[in-house]
Amino acid sequence: MSESQQLFDLVVTGHRSDKPVEALVREILTLLDDHSPHLEFKLSDALLFNNGMTSIRDGVTHEEAEDIRQRLLTLNVDCDIRPTLQIVPKEAEISVAETAVYTCPACGHQQPKRPPSDGRLEACEACGIVGERYQKGQRLQQVMESEKHRHENERSKRIREVLERAKQEEEALLQQEARRRLGLTEKPNRIGLKIAAAVAAISIGLGAVYYLNQPSPEELAKQEEEAAKAAAEAEQKKQEALAKTVQKVAEMSGRIQNMIPSGASG
């Protein structure tokens, strides 16, 4: 391979497979005949998050990248071929690997970095934690915490709304009950309307009888007397109902006054 030859990266952009990601990753590893943990991790990350930023082959020729891309299409996995951003000579790669330091994200232990050609994930020599997997777990935990807080906030908002509606309904019921106990409801007026309707019905009935039967003067006088008596009885009932209502209000007011402490009036 000449030094001037352009190299490319093969980036996974997503998939259209109905298979679980774990099964799809295993099929890709078998298809490429590469079961390295580094490739397995990159494939899992690319297929799970679909961020279009994970390269599974770095610094290969366009022909190699196209060959792999076509093979992955048989598994409904989509890839892009992108130019490699930087070409590092082999000697420079070895030099960088010798001087680069890897810091464990879990315990902070520092150790020499593995060269990119090693193909293995960075694992801490002190605690054994694989850095990329640890950081991925941390990101997942942060997303879970964010979703948990959002769900709790929405739940608290719904509870506050329900309590506010319940409080308003309770206030309305208390006002209705207070008006009922104080006799301030429209019940007396409804009684008066019913009595007036009864008187009107009697009058209409008597008028119809008079019209149909054409009573004699004696019968007419008797009917007028009965109508007057009925009207008097209806008026008496109305007055009795109103008197009872007034008495009820007076009794209720007296009880309320007795409930007020003597010092409150001062």
Distance of alpha carbon 48 from alpha carbon 260, whole angstroms: 71
Q: What was the pLDDT predicted at 260? A: 61
* Bridge pairing between strands 101-103 and 54-60: unpaired
Task: Give me the numbers of helices (H) and strands (E) for the chain, helices first please.
Answer: 7, 5
Count Cα atoms within 13 angstroms, Cβ side, for 135.
Answer: 10
Q: Are 62 and 10 in contact (CB under 8 A)?
A: no
Q: What was the pLDDT predicted at 90? A: 57
pLDDT-derived band at 10 (thresholds 50, 70, 90) equals very high
| Helix, strand, or coil (residue 238) | helix
Tell me the pLDDT tens digit for each residue of 199-258. 666 666 666 655 655 656 677 677 778 878 888 888 788 778 777 777 777 777 677 666
Continuous segment of H or E residues that includes residue 171: helix 131-181
Residues 189-223 as b or e (16 or more Cβ within 10 Å = b): eebeeebeeebeeeeeebeeeeeeeebeeeeeeeb
Highest mean pLDDT pick, 76-85, 156-165, 176-185, 195-204 = 76-85
Q: Is 76 left (phi over 0), alpha (psi -120 to 50) or beta?
A: left
Report domain 1-87's class: alpha beta
Report the percentage of the chain scoring pLDDT > 90: 14
N residues, the chain: 266
Give the chain's mean pLDDT.
Answer: 79
Report the percentage of the chain scoring pLDDT > 70: 75
| pLDDT(93) > 60 | no
Q: Are 127 and 104 in contact (CB under 8 A)?
A: yes
Q: Is 183 left (phi over 0), alpha (psi -120 to 50) or beta?
A: left
Find residue 9's DSSP bridge partners: 82
Tell me how far apart the terminal alpha carbons of the chain are, to the nearest angstrom.
106
Q: What was the pLDDT predicted at 248? A: 73
| pLDDT(28) > 90 | yes
Tell me the pLDDT tens digit for each residue of 133-175. 888 888 888 888 888 888 888 888 888 888 888 888 888 888 8
| pLDDT(186) > 80 | no
pLDDT-derived band at 266 (thresholds 50, 70, 90) equals very low
| 59: amino acid identity, one letter | G
Task: Name the residue with tokens 């490739």.
Answer: 39
Q: What was the pLDDT predicted at 66? A: 94
Distance of alpha carbon 247 from alpha carbon 250, whole angstroms: 5
| pLDDT(265) > 50 | no
Q: Which ranges of the chain would DSSP assign to H, the alpha helix?
A: 21-32, 37-49, 62-73, 90-99, 131-181, 187-213, 217-259
The DSSP 8-state label assigned to residue 130 in this structure reads B
Domain extents in the chain: 1-87, 89-129, 138-183, 186-248
